[in-house]
Chains A and B, each alone.
Chain A
Amino acid sequence: MIRLKVNRRSNVLLYAEMIIALLFFVISFAVIIRVFASADSLERRSRQRQSAALCAQSIAEAYSVSGDVQKAVSLALGADLRDFTGSAEIGLDSGFYPADSSDVILRLDEQKQDTAAGIYSELVVEFFDNSGDDEELIYSLKCGAYVPGGAAVG
C-alpha cells in the first residue's frame, strides 16, 4: 500500500516536471516565433524602403530636368497622371509598379513660387505602406526645379 502511494506520488511529480518543462518550451517557442516574425517584417520594410528611395530619386531626377510632375512620374514609374492640380495619389503594388490594388501609396505635392528670376517649384514625394490597417510612411523626399522663362534647369 505504501509502495503504491510512493509510486503515485513520483508519477505526479514526473507529470508536474514535464508540464513545467513543456510550459517553458512553449513560452520559448512563442518568443522565438515573435523574434523571427519581427525579423521578417524588418527585412520586408528595409527592402520596401530601398525600392521607395530608388523610385523617389528617379522622380526627383526627372523632375529636376523637366520641372513637370506628370512627365517625371511617367518617366520614373510609367504612370499616367492626368489632370494633375498640385497634388496626386498613385497606387503601387509591392514591386512599385502602378496598380489598382495598392500595397504602397505614392503621394505627390507640388508648390510653385513665382520669383523675379523665374518659377521655383518644389515637389514632395512620399511613399506610404498601405498593407496594414494604418498607412505608414516609408520614405519621403523633397526636390525642386527652377524654370527660368520656360526651360527647366535642375
Chain B
Amino acid sequence: MKDHRARSMGDTASAVGSMLLFVLFAVCMLMAVAVAADTYSRIKTGYQQSFGTAASIKYISNKLRAAENVTLLEDGSAAAIESAGTVSVIYCGDGGLYEKNTVPGGELTADGGELISAASSLEFSEHDGLYEITVDSGVSSSVILVRKG
C-alpha cells in the first residue's frame, strides 16, 4: 500500500515537473515571439518613415538642382520646377507627395498629379540664397537646404 502511494507521488511529481518545464518553454517562446514582433514592427515603421521622407527630399532636391526656373506656389506648399522644357508641379495632398508634369506656360495648379511617395506635409521656403525643403511623414520630419541656381 505504502509502495503504491510512493509510486503515485513519484508519477505526480514527474508529471508536474514535465508540465513546469513545458510552461517555462512556452513562456520563453511567447517572449521571443513578442520581442520579435515588436522589433520587426519598429524596423518596418522606421524604415518606411525614413525611406519615405528621405526619398521625397532627395527627389525634390535633385529636381531643384537641375532646375532652370523655380516658382513657389500656394504659400510654399507646392513648387513649379522648370527643367528641359517641362514644368513639374510638386505638391503634397491625401497623405502623399504628388507630381504633375506640364508644359511651360501651362496651368500651374496643385492637383491631378501622380503619386511619388508617402508624406503628410511639404513646405518650400527660400532665404539666404537657399531653398529650404521640409517633408513631414506624420511622425518625423526631415529638412534639407539646397542652394539656388
Contact = CB atoms under 8 A, between A and B. Distances in A.
Nearest to A76: B145
Interface stretch (B27-35, B79-87, B92-100, B108-116): B27-35
B47 A43 contact: yes
B130 A4 contact: no
B36 A61 contact: no
Contact of A36 (B35, B129, B130): B35
B128 A58 contact: no
Contacts of B31: 29
A64 B147 contact: yes
A14 interface: yes
Contact of A50 (B18, B54, B130, B143): B54
A24 B138 CA distance: 43
Interface string A56-71: 0110011011100001
Contacts of B140: 95
B71 interface: no
Interface residues of A, number: 38
A88 interface: no
A137 interface: no
A54 B54 contact: yes
A68 to B, nearest CB: 10
A38 B52 CA distance: 23
Contact of A7 (B7, B18, B143): B7
Interface string A1-44: 00010011001001100110110011001001100110110011
For chain B, which range describes its interface: under 10, 10 to 19, 20 to 34, or 35 or more residues?
35 or more
A131 interface: no
A152 B81 CA distance: 25
B130 A62 contact: yes
A66 B140 CA distance: 29
Nearest to B39: A36
Contacts of B10: 7-8, 11
B107 interface: no
A71 B128 contact: yes
Contacts of A37: 39
B57 A54 contact: yes
Contact of B28 (A29, A39, A95): A29
A98 interface: no
